[in-house]
Amino acid sequence: MAFLKKIFIFLIVLAVIVGVGGFLLPRELVVERVISINAAPEKIFPYVNDLRKMQEWQPWAKIDPEGTTYKYEGAAQGIGQKVVWSSENKEVGKGSQEIVGSVEHSSVKTALDFNEHGKAEAVFKLQPSASGTKVTWGFKSDMGDNPLGRWMGLMIGPMVGSQYEAGLDNMKTLVEALPDDPPPASATP
């Protein structure tokens, strides 16, 4: 009986630690990765200001290339362009991304909607540097009031970070291999 009492007390203490600890964790999940690309911002900008061109370097496009469907809506590029995707693969899932802010050759902000998994925003910043352009890819999401959601942020952050690193590496390889002229804008479907 004493053993069961100790297990019960342990479980209560664990629940309190998880619950209280969760409230002490940040409500907002912020991930940011940076890379230096040997190219001018003008050469990089089309690949962050056009959701179709993002498919050429973003890491999720390679997870389920045959099973993922994409539907593009709104503007051909820049503010108002939206993509809705769907895949049976849980790593890709379903959701949408819309460009909600764009400053030519400088920054792009997108709104992400992962349906039941929540919403987030992503931001690309392009800053000229001595070696070309410093590209920053940021992610921000509200993990809510639920302490378990905040604990999930501790696991999600490193996963998003590693995907962002892979994507930035892909972008660097793609852009640095391009000829000096910037690519033309995507054609409207």
Could you please state the CATH topology (level 3) that the domain comprising 27-176 is classified under: Alpha-D-Glucose-1,6-Bisphosphate; Chain A, domain 4 (3.30.530)
Sheet holding 119-129, edge to edge: 28-37, 132-142, 119-129, 107-113, 94-103, 82-86, 69-73
What pTM value is reported for the model?
0.79
Phi and psi at residue 169, in whole multiples of 5°? -60, -45
Match 């409500």 to its residue by tokens. 27
* Domain residue ranges of the chain, discontinuous segments joined by +: 27-176
Looking at residue 94, its pLDDT comes to 93
Q: Which residue has the higher pLDDT, 52 or 131?
A: 52
Are the CB atoms for 143 and 114 separated by under 8 Å? Answer: no
By CB atoms closer than 10 A (0-12, 13-18, 19+), residue 118 is middle
What are 7-41's pLDDT values in tens digits?
877 777 766 666 656 555 666 778 899 999 999 99
